[in-house]
């Protein structure tokens, strides 16, 4: 204790009465009061920062809990004016956000008109004329194979197209090309006018062809019906991947990039995909048909919503993911799709004669090296 105030015991000595006594000396003391005081200030500053962070996080969490689907819109509009809003919005559940956006924008999907493309029906030419007038076509197909596990249905050279569905976001048309037990050649011939029109529209650079994993659909049409190369496509699956930066094993968007998850996350719509892996080569059930014809309709509106997302990420709570040039990157990915399909279909040019000449040269050089004792 004495050391603290600068008093030090230097030695012990006997007094006359025989008792021991301590001899003390006073030493100079370093004044550390300012250091201690500054340390206290730094500690208090750090505590204040920690408290401010905890208080901010508490406030964010409190406000997030108020952002429910049925929140009072007047309260929500007032909340949007606060500086903390973007952080609150980012922490709000994605599905809640999209449902609340739909409520504020009064956005609901229209009830589509659904019609089968039947060459024998009185409305056949009317349907073709309607499709020809569309500037945007959402396209989807259903396929089947003849193997027990139906894996051939995923192979453009082995599988068969059962249904072709198209939509412009208001109307859905679908054509049935027949199953395993049907005379598919006769059906295809009867639908030739529709197929010719669809080929024409797909290869028109002024018409946008929209699809979820559109590579799959266009590849089948190219391989089996010899359709021309598409000129203007938009893939919603790729659009979502480009925006969220999901590459390799890095998963940014929970639930993946299937149509079911994307429609839930961005349209607030639950899609039943249970029929996706059903047998499309057998007699179709009404449940299968309903599932199939809804796909291009939903994909069309998903495409529109993704465009909104690219243009205004903050509105959807993804401001931190916004980057310049993302829309251009998506378009570049879209432009590659028809080229990739063409390469798969016709391959790359290969000059057999030139290759043989180079092979002969290599053999000659090999012989020369071996003669000289080199390998």
pLDDT in tens, 4-19: 555 566 666 666 666 7
pTM (whole model) above 0.85: no
pLDDT of the residue at 106: 93
Find the mean pLDDT for residues 226-243. 96
Question: What are the helix and strand counts (H, E) for the chain?
Answer: 13, 8
Strand intervals (E) in 214-370: 233-235
Nearest of 360, 334, 359 to residue 211 by alpha carbon: 334
> H/E element holding 91?
helix 85-91
Query: pLDDT tens for residues 276-299?
Result: 788 898 999 999 999 999 999 999
3 state SS of 92: coil
The answer on pLDDT for 245 being more than 70 is: yes
> Residue 248: is its pLDDT beyond 60?
no
Lowest average pLDDT, out of 29-38, 133-142, 166-175, goes to 29-38
pLDDT of residue 301: 98
Q: Which residue has the tokens 């401010």?
A: 52
Mean of all residue pLDDT scores within the chain = 89
The pLDDT, as a whole number, for residue 105 is 93
CATH classification (class only), 113-346: alpha beta
> Is pLDDT larger for residue 338 or for residue 22?
338
pLDDT of 273 reads 80
Q: What is the mean pLDDT of residues 124-150?
A: 93
Residue bearing the bigger pLDDT, 151 or 280: 280
Residues 336 and 214: beta-carbon distance below 8 Å: no
pLDDT at 207: 98
What is the percent of the chain with per-residue pLDDT over 90, rounded to a whole number?
Answer: 65
pLDDT for the residue numbered 236: 98
| Whether the predicted pLDDT of 252 surpasses 80 | no
Distance CA 42, CA 26 (A): 33
pLDDT at 29: 62
pLDDT tens-digit readout, 291-331:
999 999 999 999 999 999 999 999 999 988 888 899 999 99
pLDDT at 182: 93
Q: What is the DSSP letter of 68?
A: -
Nearest to residue 289, comparing CAs of 138, 115, 160, 133? 115
Q: Count CA atoms within 13 Å of residue 58 on its CB side.
A: 6
Q: How far is CA 108 from the centre of its chain?
A: 22
Lowest mean pLDDT among 22-26, 250-254, 324-328: 22-26
Predicted pLDDT at 48: 85
Burial class (CB in 10 A: 0-12, 13-18, 19+), 61: exposed
- Name every residue whose Cβ is closer than 8 Å to that of residue 323 and which is 6 or more positions away in sequence: none
Residue 234 · residue 212 · CB < 8 Å: no
pLDDT the model gives residue 226: 94
60-113 pLDDT, tens digit each: 999 999 999 999 999 999 999 999 999 999 999 999 999 999 999 999 999 999
What local confidence, expressed as pLDDT, does residue 225 receive?
Answer: 96
Give CB contacts under 8 A, 24+ apart, made by 128-135.
128/193, 128/194, 128/197, 130/171, 130/173, 131/166, 131/173, 131/194, 131/197, 131/198, 131/201, 132/197, 132/201, 134/166, 134/168, 134/201, 134/207, 135/206, 135/207, 135/208
Using CA atoms, how far apart are residues 185 and 94, in angstroms rounded to an integer?
A: 47
Cα gap 244→318, rounded to integer Å = 9
For CA atoms 3, 7, 11, 17, give the dihedral sign.
Answer: negative
Q: Domain residue spans in the chain?
A: 1-30, 43-105, 113-346
Region 239-257 average pLDDT: 77
Residue 260 clears pLDDT 70, i.e. is over it: yes
pLDDT given at position 1: 54
């Amino acid at each position: 204790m004495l050391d603290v105030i600068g008093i030090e015991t230097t030695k012990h000595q006997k007094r006359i009465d025989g008792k021991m006594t301590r001899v003390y000396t006073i030493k100079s003391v370093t004044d550390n009061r300012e250091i201690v005081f500054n340390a206290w200030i730094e500690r208090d500053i750090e505590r204040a920062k920690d408290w401010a962070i905890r208080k901010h996080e508490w406030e964010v969490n409190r406000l997030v809990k108020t952002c429910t689907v049925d929140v009072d819109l007047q309260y929500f509009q007032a909340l949007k004016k606060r500086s903390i809003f973007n952080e609150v919005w980012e922490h709000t559940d994605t599905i809640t956000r999209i449902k609340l956006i739909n409520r504020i924008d009064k956005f609901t999907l229209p009830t589509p008109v659904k019609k089968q493309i039947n060459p024998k029906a009185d409305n056949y030419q009317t349907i073709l004329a309607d499709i020809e007038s569309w500037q945007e076509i959402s396209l989807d197909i259903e396929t089947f194979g003849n193997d027990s596990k139906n894996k051939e249905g995923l192979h453009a050279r082995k599988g068969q197209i059962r249904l072709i569905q198209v939509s412009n976001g208001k109307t859905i048309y679908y054509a049935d090309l027949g199953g395993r037990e049907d005379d598919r050649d006769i059906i295809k011939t009867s639908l030739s006018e529709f197929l010719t029109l669809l080929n024409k529209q797909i290869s028109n650079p002024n018409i946008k062809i929209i699809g979820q994993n559109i590579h799959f659909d266009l590849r089948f049409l190219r391989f089996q019906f010899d359709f021309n190369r598409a000129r203007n496509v938009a893939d919603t699956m790729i659009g979502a991947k480009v925006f969220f930066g999901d590459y390799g094993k890095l998963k940014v968007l929970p639930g993946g990039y299937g149509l079911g998850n994307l429609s839930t996350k961005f349209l607030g719509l639950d899609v039943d995909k249970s029929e996706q892996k059903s047998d499309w080569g057998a007699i179709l059930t009404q449940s299968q048909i309903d599932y199939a014809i809804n796909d291009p309709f939903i994909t069309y509106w998903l495409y529109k919503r993704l465009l909104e997302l690219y243009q205004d990420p903050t509105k959807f709570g993804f401001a931190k993911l916004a980057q310049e040039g993302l829309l251009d990157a998506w378009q570049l990915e879209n432009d590659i799709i028809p080229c990739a399909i063409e390469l798969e279909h016709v391959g790359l040019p290969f000059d057999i004669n030139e290759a043989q000449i180079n092979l002969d040269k290599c053999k000659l050089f090999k012989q020369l090296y071996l003669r000289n004792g080199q390998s």
